[in-house]
Amino acid sequence: MSDHASYISPFSTRYSSKEMQYLFSPDHKFKTWRRLWISLAKAEQKLGLAITDAQIAQLEQFKDDINYDVAEAREKEVRHDVMSHVYAYGKQCPDAEAIIHLGATSCYVGDNTDVIILREASQLVLKQCAQVLRNLSAFAEKYKAMPCLAYTHLQPAQLTTVGKRATLWINELAEDVENLEFQLSRLKLLGSKGTTGTQASFMELFDGDEEKVKRLEALIAEDMGFSGCVPVSGQTYSRKVDAYFLGVLSGIAQSAYKFANDMRILQSFEEMEEPFGKNQIGSSAMPYKRNPMRSERICSLARYVMVDALNAPMTASTQWFERTLDDSANKRISVAEAFLAIDAILQIYINVTDGLVVYDKVVERRVMEKLPFMATENIMMESVRRGGNRQELHERLRVHSHAAAAKVKLEGGVNDLIDRIAADDAFPLSKEEITMHLDPRKYTGRSSGQVDEFLADVIAPILARYEGEGFQAVLNV
C-alpha cells in the first residue's frame, strides 16, 4: 500500500477515536513535514542563508494545502516519498522550490514528525487515562466503606471494601500516567543531524561555523515546542525511544487488562456488572445472558498491545551502525497500531467505569456466607481472654470449620459454624456474644481510610494536572 493512502487498520476502522486516527493519518504526517520544512527555512534565514521572506510566505501559504495527486504521481516515478513531497511542495511554491529541504535528509522530516506525533498521541492518551482515573476515583469514594469478599489464590480471604479494591485498579493506571509523563518530559526532537548524524551538510552550508549549526537545531526545537534536540545520533533518533513509549503503552494495557479481568470475574459472581444497554443483546443463542463483552474486548486488545510492544525493542537492538532501513515498515505499523489500540482500550475503559453497577445485596449475601469462617480468629481471641486455651480452641475451630464447610459443599446446606461453636462448651461465649463478631465492618481494617488518603495524596495531584480535560468516550461497537 502506498504510504499516502488512507491508513487502514482494524483499530482505526472499528474501535479507535477520530482524534487518534487523525494523528496517525497521512494528512497529519505530511502537514507536519511542511511545518518542519518551514521551520528549517526560517532558522536558516535567521542564521544568514539567502532565504527571503517571500519564499517563506509562499511556503506558509500552502502548508495545509497538500497537492496529493502531484505527490503520488511523482512517487510512482522516483519511488521516494519524501522527495515526492518536496517536488509537490515545490510545484505549489515555485519561488521557494530551490530552498525546500536545504541541507536536510529524509529523516529530518520523517523522524522529527514521528517524535511530534509520539508527543501528540501520548498527550491524548494521558487525557483519556485521567478520565478513567476520574471515573474510578468517584466510584472508590462512593463505595469506600462497603465490605466485600477479598481473594488470594482466587479463594475467599479477609474482607476488603468495594472502594478499596478500586484503588488497586487506580494505582496501577496512575503509575502508567506518571511513567508516560516522565517519557514525555525527556522527549527531544532528532533535529537536523544529516546523513550519518555528523551535521556535515550543515557545516558546509554555514562555512564550518559550529555555533550556527548548533543554533539551527535550537531554533527548530523552539519552533516545534521542544526543549531541545537529541545531543548525538546516527541518521535517526535512537529507536529505543519507541521502545520506551511502547513499553508504557504495554503497561497501560496490563493495567486495563487487570481491571477488565477482575470485572469479568465479578460479573460471574453477580457482584458487579459493566454497563448493559437497554436493547443490548448478550448472546445470539441464549437471550438471558449478559456477557461482559466490553471487558472482554479490553482484554483482547490489551493482549495485542503487550505483544506488539515487543516490536520496538527488536527494532532498536537490530539497528546497524548509523542506520538501517529495516526499521521503517515495522516502526510505521507497530507504533501506530499500539497507540490506536490503546486509544480503543481507553475508550472502552472510560465507558465501563462511567457506568459500573454494584449489586450490593449480592455482595452482602456473599460476605455473610463466608464471614463466620473469618470471624473465628476474633472468637478465638475473645475466648482466650476469658480463660480459654489458644491451641485447644484453634483445633476445635479447625474441626468445626471443616465440618460446616462440608455441610455447605456436600449437602447444599447453610453455614452452621456459629451454631457449632455456640454448642461447644470449650468456648466461654453465648451465641449472642459470638454473633456480635459478625459485623463485616470489623473485618475491613483501614480500607476506608486508605481510600481517602490515596485519593487525596496520590490521585488528586494527577487529576489537578488534567483539570478541564474531561474526555467523553465514544463506544464504536
| 151 bridge partner residues | 156
How does 244-267 read in b/e, with b if 16+ C-beta sit within 10 Å?
A: bbbbbbbbbbbbbbbbbbbbbebb
Report how far residue 231's alpha carbon sits from residue 116's, in angstroms, rounded to the nearest whole number.
17
Report how far residue 263's alpha carbon sits from residue 275's, in angstroms, rounded to the nearest whole number.
11
The neighbour count for residue 8, using CB atoms within 10 Å, is 8
The neighbour count for residue 398, using CB atoms within 10 Å, is 11
Helices 376-385 and 360-374 meet at what angle, rounded to 10? 40
Closest CA to 174 of 118, 136, 117, 119: 136
Q: Give the Å distances, CA to CA, from 205 to 50, 104, 358.
A: 11, 11, 68
Report how far residue 157's alpha carbon sits from residue 149's, in angstroms, rounded to the nearest whole number.
7
Question: Catalytic residue positions?
Answer: 153, 283
Q: Which three cell numbers stand for residue 36?
A: 518542519
Report how far residue 227's alpha carbon sits from residue 233's, in angstroms, rounded to the nearest whole number.
17
Report how far residue 404's alpha carbon sits from residue 417's, in angstroms, rounded to the nearest whole number.
5
Long-range CB pairs of 430-439 (<8 Å, 24+ gap) are 433/382, 434/375, 434/379, 437/375, 437/378, 437/379, 437/382, 438/368, 438/371, 438/372, 438/375
Any idea which residue has 470471624 for its cell? 375
